[in-house]
Structure 1
Amino acid sequence: MALSHPNPPEQALREAILNAGASPDGRLPPERILAAQLSISRTQLRGILDAMARDGLIFRRHGQGTFLQPPPVQAAERLSTLARRVTPRDLMEVRLDLEPALAAHAARRGSAEDKTRLLQLMEHSLAADDIERYEHADDLFHYKIAEMAGNPLFLSLFEEIRTLRRAGDWQRTRRAALTGDDIARLSALHRDIAQSICAGSAEDARAAMRQHLQQVSGALRRSDAASGES
């Protein structure tokens, strides 16, 4: 993917990186290959990747590489057994305990750059016009909040929950449960969460996140009830 301009501006390089051929899990090619594709030095590439990581556009994991989406947890194989035992109700119970606290911490600890990126991710979820786009936007939005909480142990716990959420049965259940109206309501609640975090209001962020997750839980319960009646 060499660029035609001999000295392409950084924005063009960023866009080329975001459009680079990634593996199915979102992993970018190794730096030496990516630098060759872009016709830039590895030193220049590292500087751009550093800036993109700070902006939340890419994700780095030591020993795993650089990703265009939050990377899979290192214990994904271990969690596959647990995924077969965990129900959507189990997941929502844990999320309702953990994620309001993450939102409150994010409100207290998030940097100005973090908050700018969170607002961008919120807009992406508002613009989502189908379940696949909403799921992707929702994933990035919640991951960013977990990062902003500024606690690596909290982030590790969240990543395990995220891995379980991405299991096939959970995704099928969630996609079957969420209607277009549900997506619109949940996206609007993303706005409430983001605005509270960006205002630095920890308790409002906590309450908004709890309301958002209760809406998800309610949609799952309605879907379960409908399935039981059919």
Structure 2
Amino acid sequence: MSDTMPKPIAAEIARSLQQRIDAGEWADGRQVPPERDLAADFGVARNTIRRAMDMLRDQGTISRHVGRGTFVASGAKHSLSEIVAGMEGASPADMMELRLLLEPLSSANAAINASAAQLAGIEEAHREANAATDIMTFEQWDSALHHRIFACSRNELLRGIYDLLHVLRNQSPWFDMKKRSFSEERRQNYCRQHDAIVTAILNRDPEAARAATLAHLKTVEANLLGR
């Protein structure tokens, strides 16, 4: 490239390299050419290439290994369907971690934002779970209770994430684990903890709702995973 031609800035080089990776010029796990070669290709100093590579690394497109070189990150490109499919194998421990992050906040949100109709739906699910006499019925209403609380969120992306988690929770491996850990004593304890959550939501007390949900999920985690 001639010295008289304008030299691309690091961001432009990063975009160009990203396009080449997306086009399949370098497959997943394949080594990217050294900085000196790329600098010669683009007609820029190596520190400019280094800044561009730093941008791609921060995006997760590439990985850099001292003494080995720079490689296209495995799985750098994923469609939404591929990401969802990959979540099907999520472990119960991973799912509990996500629930512990999301659900206490959702209960606090419900205490602030739930409509009268949503509150009635939450009360119904709690009432039916209390009245359940078998595991299938209890699990149905237990799941409905948690789902209805989260449905009070006004964030569509969060609701979509939880809807996916809701589906995963009802798959066979998860339900089999819950069935093995189920007992009438635990059901009654869960119902008492649910009562604390629902009461806090009805009282429009977000902090109490958050704390009660966290305590409940910690109990569920201990029962399911033996922690």
Relative to the length of structure 2, the TM-score reads 0.61
Q: 1:169 aligns with which of 173, 190, 195?
A: 173
> CA–CA distance in 2 between the matches of 1:126 and 1:102?
22
Q: Which residue of 2 aligns with 1:88?
A: 92
Q: Which residue of 1 aligns with 2:137?
A: 133
> CA–CA distance in 1 between the matches of 2:209 and 2:96?
18
> CA–CA distance in 2 between the matches of 1:76 and 1:129?
38
Q: Which sections of structure 2, spanning at least 5 residues, go unmatched?
A: 1-79
Say whether 1:154 aligns with 2:141: no
Q: 1:77 to 1:145 in 2, by over 3 A?
A: farther
Per-residue deviation, 1:76: 8.6
Contact 1:83/1:167 (CA < 8 Å) preserved in 2?
no
**Displaced runs of 4 or more, over 3 A:** 75-81
> CA–CA distance in 2 between the matches of 1:78 and 1:135?
27
Q: 2:220 aligns with which of 200, 216, 219?
A: 216
State the Cα deviation string for residues 166-193 of structure 1 (Å, max 9, x = none). 1211111111112211111111111111
Q: 1:130 to 1:149 in 2, by over 3 A?
A: same
Identity value in percent: 27
Three-state SS of the structure 2 residue aligned to 1:150 is: coil
State the Cα deviation string for residues 85-144 of structure 1 (Å, max 9, x = none). x11111101100000000000000011221122111111111111111111001111111
Q: Which residue of 2 aligns with 1:42?
A: none
Q: Which residue of 2 aligns with 1:98?
A: 102
> CA–CA distance in 1 between the matches of 2:112 and 2:180?
35
Give the letter aligned to residue 220 of structure 2: V
Per-residue deviation, 1:221: 2.5
> CA–CA distance in 1 between the matches of 2:194 and 2:126?
6
Say whether 1:113 aligns with 2:117: yes
> CA–CA distance in 2 between the matches of 1:200 and 1:153?
24
Root-mean-square deviation (Å): 1.8
Q: Which residue of 2 aligns with 1:53?
A: none
Contact 1:106/1:150 (CA < 8 Å) preserved in 2?
no
> CA–CA distance in 1 between the matches of 2:225 and 2:129?
23
Three-state SS of the structure 1 residue aligned to 2:164 is: helix
Q: Which residue of 1 aligns with 2:211?
A: 207
Give the letter aligned to residue 112 of structure 1: A
Q: 1:76 to 1:210 in 2, by over 3 A?
A: farther
Per-residue deviation, 1:78: 6.4
> CA–CA distance in 1 between the matches of 2:158 and 2:180?
29
Q: 1:135 to 1:176 in 2, by over 3 A?
A: same
Per-residue deviation, 1:77: 9.0
Q: Which residue of 2 aligns with 1:64?
A: none
> CA–CA distance in 2 between the matches of 1:208 and 1:77?
35
> CA–CA distance in 2 between the matches of 1:87 and 1:169?
9
> CA–CA distance in 2 between the matches of 1:166 and 1:78?
19
> CA–CA distance in 1 between the matches of 2:83 and 2:213?
29
Aligned residues: 148
